[in-house]
Structures are given as C-alpha cells and as structure tokens.
Structure 1
C-alpha cells in the first residue's frame, strides 16, 4: 500500500494522561480537543508523516478547580500557549505492528525530542463503507523539562504532583479522499 492521507476520527479517539499525586496515588485526565495530520501506509509506518495538536484548554480531570489550575500560568498557561504539538521526525519498526515514533514535542515554549511506542491495531470498513485504521500510543514525559514545574512540598516528605506524566492515546482515523 502507498502512503495515504488519514483524517483523525476524534469521536472514536482519546488522549489520556496520568500523574502521581501525593507520591502514592494516580490522578487521571484527558484532553478533549485534538487533531492530527497523518500520511501513512498503515502496514509500514516507517515512512509516515505525523503531526499532532492538542488544545491545552481542553484539559479535563473531572474536577473544575484542578482543571482551572492546570489552565493557569502555573501549568499550561493556556492564554499564552493554547496548543501543544508533536511532529514525528523518525519512525523505527521494533516488532510486527510496533514502532518507536520519535519527534519534536512542544509544550509552552519548550521543544524537546520524545519517543512514543505506537501499535498498529488494524484496518477495516465501517458500516458505511469508510476505510478506518486504529493505533494505540504509549509513552511518558518529564513535565519539568517543559516548564511545568509548579509543585508543593508535603509535610510527610515528597511533593504533591509527580514529575513523570504517563501518556496514552487510542486513535482511529478514516481514509481521506
């Protein structure tokens, strides 16, 4: 198959994250507004062009006060940095249907190379005859490397918010005409 343009199906996709809270529990959240530009042969992603954009104001942890704090200058500063982006620069096949996708991740004004594991889930036709493809993406980042450094010391030692952010995406895209 040759490289094909794929339109992200956001109704059947998700961008999720988790972070340690108080050193012993996880808080999970999502970003509800995102988009991607994908040009790929899903059977061989090594030549793919992938760009991903997330609306930082769409952060959702199911807690309005926490979400407002995450949107503030302490974290995403959505007024000045409304988007975070990822652009793939290198894709390596690691196993059958498994890839390491390395690219430039930009959060706030900081751009750093990051690698995510991508698993090709397969292709198929939906009930209306549209060709669809699915991918799962896993990885983690160190939030302080991107200027997300707000924290509070705990009386018992340690900090309120962990530095490692686990990232998980489930993506479905439709073949573009």
Structure 2
C-alpha cells in the first residue's frame, strides 16, 4: 500500500514538473514574424500563391516534452490575399471560402507526435467553411532562445495539404487544382 502511495506521489510530482516546464507563447503576428501562406495549382499550368493577412494564436511548448504541446489558431478568412483584387473577391465568395457566412477558420491541436531531431507531426481539427476535419501538419522546430529585447522566442515551420472538396468548397477547377498546400511559419513570444 505504501508503495502504491509513493508511486502516486512521484507520478503527481512528475506531472506538475511537466506543467511547470511548459511555457505559453503568443504567435508574433504584430511583428510580422509569422505567416499562413497557400499555393494551389492553376489548371496544372502554374500556381496561385497567397496568404492570410489577419490571424492570431497561442501555444504551449516545452522542448523536453514536445508531445505535450498545444496550439490554437484563428484566421480571419476575409484577409485572404493572392495579390489580385478580383480573384480575392471571388475567393471570398460562396464558391470558395464563403466569408460572409464563415468569417473565421480555426485550428485546435489534438496531439503532437515527436519524430526526433526537432521534427514532429502536429495533429488537430481545422474548421474551415463550416466544416471541421482532422488534419496533420508536418512541422520542424527552427530554434529558440532569448531575443534582443529581453524576451524569449521559439519558431517553427510546417506544411500540410488539404482537399478543397473536404471543406465544401464548391468551385471545381479540375483534378490538378483539387488540393491546396498550406505553408506555415510560426514565431512565438513567451508570456
């Protein structure tokens, strides 16, 4: 009985230690040190590239326990920017993102699977255009450390691919344009 009690105390202490070591970060969108970019084939001949200019998020991270990390991101879908005003107007319409009805896209992590050498797979639920689906993001820890202003930062890059039809995107530009690639750059400032 004493051994069981001792095991419980040790397990509790380890859990508290893990919680203390994890730090909370805000994604640095104010300093433009983060981006959500996309590319999609244009009919198989070229690519349309762009970004979302307005998003925010936070995460918890401990390099010694990457698997315990958590991420939340919210994107203002009307901030889509492909450097072409008429196309952006169409992308905001019900043919694509339907921003009048669904002005926000959200990502909430459900698990993080370390792969070694700073590589990991971030899994979570993406809500886009009124549809929520599980996604996996291949990610890499770029680095972490003190900044020149007395703060502490950590940065990552990630990539995933989404099938447009999975998110009820009605416009069909053919098989070459059926998927979009998201490239993510995230720099967080420890709070």
Cα distance in 1, alignment partners of residues 38 and 55 from structure 2: 14
Q: CA deviation at 1:129?
A: 1.3
| TM-score, structure 1 as length reference | 0.91
1:89 paired with 2:104, answer no
1:9·1:171 contact (CA, 8 Å) conserved in 2?
A: yes
Structure with max Cα Rg: 2
**What corresponds to 2:71 in structure 1?**
50
- SS for the counterpart of 1:45 is helix
Q: For the residues of structure 1 that align with 2:176 and 2:37, how far apart are their CA atoms?
A: 17
Structure with the higher helix share, 1 or 2: 2
Structure 1 residue runs of 5 or longer lacking an equivalent are 153-158
Q: Structure 2, unaligned stretches of length 5 or more?
A: 1-17
TM-align CA RMSD: 1.5
Partner Cα separation in structure 2 for residue 91 and residue 148 of structure 1: 28
- Kept after mapping to 1: 8 A contact 2:172/2:178: no
Instruction: Tell me which residue corresponds to 1:121.
Output: 142
- Deviations, residues 56-106 of structure 1 (Å, cap 9, x unaligned): 000000000000000111111111100111111111111210111111111
1:98 alignment partner, one of 119, 132, 155: 119
Aligned pairs, how many?
170
Q: 2:93 touches 2:99 (CA, 8 Å); kept in 1? A: yes
Contact 1:42/1:133 (8 A) holds in 2: no
Higher RCO (C-alpha under 8 Å, 6+ residues apart): 1
Per the TM alignment, residue 43 of structure 1 is displaced from its structure 2 partner at its CA by: 4.4
Q: Quickly say closer, same or farther: Cα 1:160–1:116, change in 2 above 3 A.
A: closer
Name the counterpart of 2:188.
173
